[in-house]
Structure 1
């Protein structure tokens, strides 16, 4: 090993590098996944068998060690899956992972930014030589790598963070222009400011067609969820993708934090969709992924214009999902939250002391929820509970759930059981090769099954 970089030397076997006891199967791309990864780092066990270069700890195909950090590996798998839609290349992702030092946020950001800029230069050269398609496809990957850089980085004092955010948007738009992809930029009016988004008009749509509104969760951006909006585009559905408060550009460019009354974020987007020619106002569909699987049902409970809600995965109580993780790590600590918040803060900081993933989690969620202390963030999280409002949901709900869900395990079934109206639970299994959070690594199958169901039910 090269002790200065934490990497395996090129002339030595990579097995040791890939076998660090720091990974977790699954793709928890928000704080539930971070907590699950944190737990795996503390409780990991030796590998059951050795494979040259790779050592899975559980025997599962998805439990691979690339960076040496469990959460980073989960997030890497998310971007590897984008190769299906041309928004990443496997070699580019793995080469980037090789340069990441486990647990170091800056290393993650630097590695992905370097890849984004290199791929961007390739696209510039192709465009200068008149190769519009090559340039457009290459810009699409560069834009995704800029987004990847922002996923695991919380240093708001670094001017490169905002620059990467803006380059992700402009490069995405350049790609769409060169490829003739009809993604029209939108600024959706929202409480004295606006939410960034894109309207994607399907050339295969009828004169009046459904529109799929799409938002992500804590980390991912809607632009990188191409398997959803491109699947809609090809099937004659319009799509409107947007950044809600606490997400992507709304967070980094506008300073907007998450809010529990998510309908206040979604209703302006519904308003905007209704004003667009060709959109059938009676067939407005809403999809939320990751943490969005808790947010979207909340919006559907209050805005009756939503004709169908898709939660991937479904979440009845985000608060319950988060507290169940912490009760495993520090039993009884939540009893201090309201009675002795200062003691609670000390306990959480002790948990995170010397533990990079936990430190990252605290910085990340405090920033995105507008909190200053651990106690404040948990008080805010307690408001993200759909239990009191789930009975208000009257539209059909499609819930997508993997059997290896690690961020909010059991919540899809709880949401399904609590719903009183039309509902369907779509399960993805190990046999499907799609058991992970948001079907990471199996997005082609996820698109096929989801849109086949929508075609039959909308």
Structure 2
């Protein structure tokens, strides 16, 4: 043949760098629930160099502004469904740009607030009942959303908390929309240190005693008309798996718990990914945020420097070593796990490594109530962290389990 058949210029190529490739998969995965378009993500990725966070921020930030402007134009012409869809894509593109920015950079806050703005516009355009809520803790204003499904009786509510870099809006796209389809109302909430909290507070740090915000969330949820404790389920995503387990260990009013995945020892979990324990760094090898610009690329590339900086800032620590020492406080021991009497589901991917699988199994055998575990596989394209590559399957497993547990509970 004289030439090959070419049907388009967009190619299915990711990144050689595993972390940036994971972030691309994270964005692609949300296409299942309207958070992205596969072709658009791949087109953007083609213009981003490996492990180049600045190029990523520019590409997704520019795309988000274009998508939001398109949504506004469609809304002005009365095309509500089209506007809703484009606003949701813009919301998630702003989140992607927000991810690689320093949390103390003004652009981080700008992209975060733009993501929130586009999300609320999507809810209005789609006629979805979404009410912004606020919680107060230690002088911080903690944002949340209460979302009600059409025709809801108000007797089933799924409260979801994300983790280190997830946002309220991404949580809605990745898990909340699937829950609404199945008749659950939503309460998406955050705590100190989380991305959404940084948008409204100049500085905020993660705290191990997350049950304090959990108590306030449960109090307000159970004040809703028609909702009783058995109808209140709690789900934790990523680092939110720790938050949710910690809440459930101190809060008996949770009707069911889904941990994706259950983190009971954050220090062991984090050190397993890097293969060493920075808590043992010598004075000569330790570093703080101000030292990062002086570390050569041959030792630490730009992407890793930004991730290390955000880790220290988000945990409120002066150095990398002190950050990992602080992580030791983020634990739920077996005695606390034994206080969890509600039905529990542990979700984990086989590709996450030995430590997440070990902690999942410790959780399942330590809680007092019914406990199930589901391990997602590479064959399903769901073996990665939080099943970003197959969110539909993850939702099916989690939501079907929740429906079946509640159905079983209603007959005994």
TM-score, length basis structure 2: 0.87
Identify the match of residue 302 of structure 1 among 223, 241, 250.
250
Measured on the aligned residues, the alpha-carbon RMSD in Å equals: 2.4
- 1:119 & 1:247 partners in 2: Cα distance? 26
Q: Paired residue for 2:84?
A: 136
Residue 212 in structure 1 maps to residue 212 in structure 2: no
Identify the match of residue 354 of structure 1 among 272, 296, 300.
300
- 1:132 & 1:318 partners in 2: Cα distance? 43
Q: Paired residue for 1:345?
A: 286
Q: Paired residue for 1:446?
A: 394
- 1:373 & 1:298 partners in 2: Cα distance? 26
Once the two structures are TM-superposed, the CA of residue 317 in structure 1 deviates from its matched residue by 1.4
1:398 partner SS: strand
Deviations 1:298-342 (A, max 9, x none): 11101111121110012221211223344x357xx64x35xx5x2
Q: Paired residue for 1:317?
A: 265
Q: Paired residue for 1:184?
A: 131
**1:373 and 1:203, CA in 2 relative to 1: closer, same or farther beyond 3 A?**
same
Identify the match of residue 118 of structure 2 among 171, 175, 189.
171
- 1:432 & 1:85 partners in 2: Cα distance? 18
1:219 partner SS: coil
Larger RCO (CA within 8 A; separation ≥ 6): 1
Deviations 1:228-266 (A, max 9, x none): 222222222211001222112202321321111111121
Q: Paired residue for 1:230?
A: 177
Once the two structures are TM-superposed, the CA of residue 417 in structure 1 deviates from its matched residue by 2.6
Q: Paired residue for 2:3?
A: none
- 2:139 & 2:159 partners in 1: Cα distance? 22
Residue 244 in structure 1 maps to residue 185 in structure 2: no
- 2:272 & 2:117 partners in 1: Cα distance? 40
1:385 partner SS: coil
**1:154 and 1:114, CA in 2 relative to 1: closer, same or farther beyond 3 A?**
same
TM-score, length basis structure 1: 0.79
Contact 1:322 1:408 in 2 (8 A): no
Identify the match of residue 371 of structure 1 among 303, 313, 317.
317
Contact 2:57 2:101 in 1 (8 A): yes
Once the two structures are TM-superposed, the CA of residue 216 in structure 1 deviates from its matched residue by 0.6
Contact 1:211 1:280 in 2 (8 A): no
Q: Paired residue for 1:403?
A: 350
1:314 partner SS: coil
Identify the match of residue 110 of structure 1 among 58, 72, 88.
58
**1:414 and 1:287, CA in 2 relative to 1: closer, same or farther beyond 3 A?**
same
**1:115 and 1:377, CA in 2 relative to 1: closer, same or farther beyond 3 A?**
same
Contact 1:238 1:279 in 2 (8 A): no
Deviations 1:57-105 (A, max 9, x none): xxxxxxxx52343211101101101111111111111122122222222
2:264 partner SS: coil
Name the stretch that deviates more: 101-110 or 444-453: 101-110
- 1:69 & 1:322 partners in 2: Cα distance? 19
Once the two structures are TM-superposed, the CA of residue 169 in structure 1 deviates from its matched residue by 0.7
Deviations 1:85-139 (A, max 9, x none): 1111111111221222222222221111011011112112212222222112111
Residue 426 in structure 1 maps to residue 374 in structure 2: yes
- 1:180 & 1:111 partners in 2: Cα distance? 30
Give the count of matched residue pairs.
388
- 1:311 & 1:378 partners in 2: Cα distance? 23
Deviations 1:185-236 (A, max 9, x none): 1112333332111111122433x51211101111111321224222222222
Once the two structures are TM-superposed, the CA of residue 346 in structure 1 deviates from its matched residue by 5.4
